[in-house]
Amino acid sequence: MHPVTDDELRRTIGTLMPDALTRLAELVRLPSEFGADPERRRACADAAALIVDALRDLDFPDPRAVPTSDGSLTVLARRQGPPGAPTVLLYSHYDVQPEGTAADWTHPPFELTRDGDRLYGRGAADCKGGVVAHLTALRALGDACPVTILFVGEGSEEQGGRGLDHYIRSHPAEFADVDAALILDAANPGPGRPAIVTSLRGVVVSRVSVRTGTRILHSGTFGGAAPDAAMALIRILASLRDDTGDTVIDDMPTPQIPHDADHRADADYPEAAFRENAGLPAAGRVLGSDDIATQLWARPALTVLATDLPALGEAVPAIRPTARAVVNLRVPPGVPARLASDLLTAHIRRHNPWNAEVDVEEVISSDPFTAPADGPAHRTLAGALGAAHGRPAVTVGDGGSIPLCGTLRAVAPRAEILLFGISEPGSNIHAIDESVLLSDLEAAVVAEAMFLRDLGTDPRQRKEEEQT
């Protein structure tokens, strides 16, 4: 059987896209947020079951939803390729972020809605669209797929992925033969602009608790002498950013920032484009002491995710004895997450005003990730993305974090780990009106099918057979 040609793949995928969108709509309809809500837990289980059924239809002999240590379900399936074929891991996740206030959405958050070339709905871009892209690429290749496939669909990525991480480390033999891992959970720099991500920041999420007293006090009777826990917390948090907006943590190693011409050419991020993508007002300041790409991809960034303080409607003239916050630290490449977490904790304790009682509890931690851009699988994916999009793929960094990458490197050290995606700045992932461009989704399917075909086929043989 000769390998399918580029034109054959494009035509086949064009005919498959309506069914792909139907499957995506089924997944988006499920509010699969992995958390404490039992109805949403059931939605996660239903999403996993849909994916298992789809893999069974693709002739995977034993697809299954495997319970993991954090209570989530990971979909796992393996389909053997020809003798001696490389093994390719296909990863995406089906859990989603909460939708926030549904009334703020232009389109219903859990209903796939097409508006022009955009498909709206929670998970359409991050990352149920990625799941569907994998399934559709496999369907397009059919029996002509020349590689062994290991499919991984995660159910708790948005909550740190501890369940999948523990499963992989507990079952390393299932992953040890992976030659290439396609992690479809990254972002492109713009619509129709394909990219391969070769660096990720790590992440540390910590809960900070401050206590300055034993009871609530009248702000008139005691104010001025009694310490305010809310103000103590605010001063601690303010110490983590300087006047330029740089994150400053005592003794944090200086990031190793590449300044070679090739990196700068790919990493350029004009301020005007960033302002538009971020929705910054004209007078709003872009933060940091370095260029925008470096700020986003190669420097630490501290964000306050939440505070436990009275809401405005609950304001009373009183001094509160306790205050809490959850902080998110994006860890630059080259700095271990364990070190970053320890330095963050030490900084918070050192910058504690008024000798308050301060407790720091780590919630999530994962290391940064970097990958070389010169391996054969990287070159194959770059060629496939370029052919699918009609323009060359660039190599970029990404400020996000994917714990799976470090775990895979530990258990499958020979594997090339390749990150690409279907989202772009206009996709609004983790926010209201999340969406994916239909053209980018289809191009990703085409690129993945080309990649799988080319990785398992001698290019010289394919060229000769296409010519005949």
Closest-CA residue to 199 (of 128, 245, 258, 249): 258
Degrees to nearest 5, angle at CA 427 with 48 and 13: 60
Helix (H, G, I), strand (E, B) or coil at 441: helix
Strands 217-218 and 118-120: unpaired
Rounded CA-CA distance 351/35 in Å is 33
Strands 73-79 and 148-154: antiparallel
Contact present, 300 and 340 (Cβ < 8 Å): yes
In the sheet with 118-120, reading across from the earlier edge strand, the strands are 113-115, 118-120, 435-437
4 vs 9, 139, 390, 395, 450, CA distance in Å? 7, 13, 19, 27, 9
Closest-CA residue to 28 (of 109, 102, 133): 109
Helix (H, G, I), strand (E, B) or coil at 412: coil
Rounded CA-CA distance 388/408 in Å is 27
Contact present, 418 and 185 (Cβ < 8 Å): no
Residue of 33, 95, 154, 434 marked active site: 95
Residue of 99, 126, 154, 157 marked active site: 157
Closest-CA residue to 135 (of 421, 434, 449): 449
> Would you call 266 a catalytic residue per the annotation?
no
Q: Maximum CA pair distance of the chain?
A: 92
> Would you call 95 a catalytic residue per the annotation?
yes
Rounded CA-CA distance 183/369 in Å is 13
Output phi, psi for 340, to 5 deg. -60, -40
Degrees to nearest 5, angle at CA 152 with 151 and 153: 120
Closest-CA residue to 63 (of 114, 143, 135, 7): 135
- Residue positions annotated with a catalytic role: 95, 157
